[in-house]
Structure 1
C-alpha cells in the first residue's frame, strides 16, 4: 500500500473520528442522567470503547488503521511504518479525535443541556486519575499502552507489513481481535486513569471540551493533559524497541 500524505490523513481522520464518536458516546450514554444508558457500569464503558476501536479501525483500514499516535510511533520504531509518514498519521488522528468529540456532543446536546451536574462532564471527553500522582499516572498509561502495542506486534500469527498494516493471525476476528484486547485493558488496567492508551483519543476531545459551549462545564484540567500523551507515547516506543530485539521480530 502506497498512500500519499493526504490519503493517510483522510483515512486516519475518518477512523479516529468514528472511534471518538462511539467511545465518547458510550460514556455520555452512561453519565448523562437523561440518556437511556445512565447507570453505573464500568464494563459497559469498556465494551463500548473496545468496539469503538473495532469500527474505527475497520473504517481506517486503507491507511493501516493506526487511529492512535502510540501505534504509529510503535510501528515506526519497529521499522514497520515509514517515519516520513508519521506526521500524516498523527495529524489525521488528532483532527479526527476533535471532530469525533464534537459529533458526540451534538448527538447528546439535549442531554448535556438538561444534566444537573454539568461541571462533571469532562470525563465524557477525556481521562483523569482517581488518585492524582502524575508520575505514577504516567506509569499506568505506559504499562497499559505497552500491552496494546506489543500485542499488535506479537499477536499469534500476526504480521505487520512494510507498509505498516497489521494483519492479525485470526482472520475470522480481524480488527475485532483488537477490540477484545482494548476491552481487556479497560477492565483490568483502566481503573487508575481511565486508560487513554492513545494521545489523540485524550488530547483531541480535551480541546473540544475546552471550546464547546457546554453550559456550566468544568475545567479541562490542562495540568493533567500531558500525562495521557506522554505515557502512551513512551509505552508505544518501548514496545517497538522490545519488538526489535526479540527473536520473533526477525
Structure 2
C-alpha cells in the first residue's frame, strides 16, 4: 500500500515518541529516586531501548520505513535508498516525536524528578554523556554504535529474508539495539540517534526541575554528528557489500 507523506510523517512522529517512552522511560525508572525500578540495573535500560526500537519497526516499518532516527534517514538518502525531498519532513517529524515522548516520560515520572537530587541521574533520563568525560571516546562510541545499528538494521530489513518476513526482521533489529546497549553502551549511554539526544537536552534545559544541573551544551554536538557519520558509513558498507 502506498501511504501519503502525511501518514508517513505521523508514523515517524509516533514511532520516535515510542522510542523515547520505552528507552528514556527505562532510564528514568532505574535512575530516579523512589521508583519501583530504582537501581534495577543496566539490563532494564537495554531492554527498554530494544523494545523502543522493535515496536515502532513492527508497527510502522511498512508505513514509513520506521526510521525514527535522523541519522538513518540521512544515511539512506546519501546512498540513494530514500528520496531527498522527504528528508527534512521526516527529520522534523522525528524531532517532534522525540519531544512528545520525552514530555510523556517527564509527566509520568514527575514526582520522582521532584524527589531526585542527583543531577547526573536526572540528566541520564534525558541525554547522554561520556562516562570518562572524554570527547574522543564519546565520538568513537557513538560513531561505531550507530554504524553497527544501521548496517545491522539494513541487512535485517532490506535483504530478501527480511523483506519476506518483516516481523522477524523487526525483532532482530530490536535485539541489535538491546545488544548494543549492553555491549557498547557503557561509555556513553548510548544515543545512536540525534533526535533521541538533542531534543531531550533542549527539554532538560527548559523544564523546571530542581537539582537538574547543567545540560552539557559544550559536548552536545557529539551525539548529533557522530551518529550521522556512523550511519552514513554503515549505509555505504551495506550498499557496497550486500545490496
Cα deviations by residue, 1:45-80 (Å, 9 ceiling, x for unpaired)? 111111111123334331111101111122222321
The answer to whether residue 147 in structure 2 is matched with residue 152 in structure 1 is no
TM-score (norm 1): 0.89
Compared CA separation, residues 223 and 168, structure 1 to 2 (3 A): farther
What is the distance in 2 between the residues matched to 1:153 and 1:119?
A: 34
Q: Which residue of 2 aligns with 1:33?
A: 33
Q: Retained in 2: the 8 A contact 1:23–1:52?
A: yes
1:238 to 221, 233, 238: 233
The 8 Å contact of residues 95 and 199 in structure 2, kept in 1 or not, is answered as yes
The answer on whether the counterparts of 1:15 and 1:56 sit within 8 Å (CA) in structure 2 is yes
Structure 2 counterpart of 1:192:
187
1:63 matched to 2:64: yes
Deviation at 1:182, TM superposition (A): 0.2
Q: State the shift of 1:230 in Å.
A: 0.6
Q: Matched residues in 1 for 2:211 and 2:133: separation? A: 24
Q: 1:72 aligns to what?
A: 73
- TM-score w.r.t. the length of structure 2 is 0.92
Considering fraction of residues, name the structure with more helix: 2
Q: Could you tell me how far apart the structure 2 residues matched to 1:186 and 1:169 are?
A: 28
1:128 is aligned to: 129
Unaligned runs of 5+ in 2: none
Larger CA deviation: 114-123 vs 90-99: 114-123
Query: Which of 176, 179, 185 in structure 2 is aligned with 1:181?
Result: 176
Unaligned runs of 5+ in 1: none
**Structure 1 residue 244 displacement after superposition:** 2.8
Residues matched between the structures, number: 242
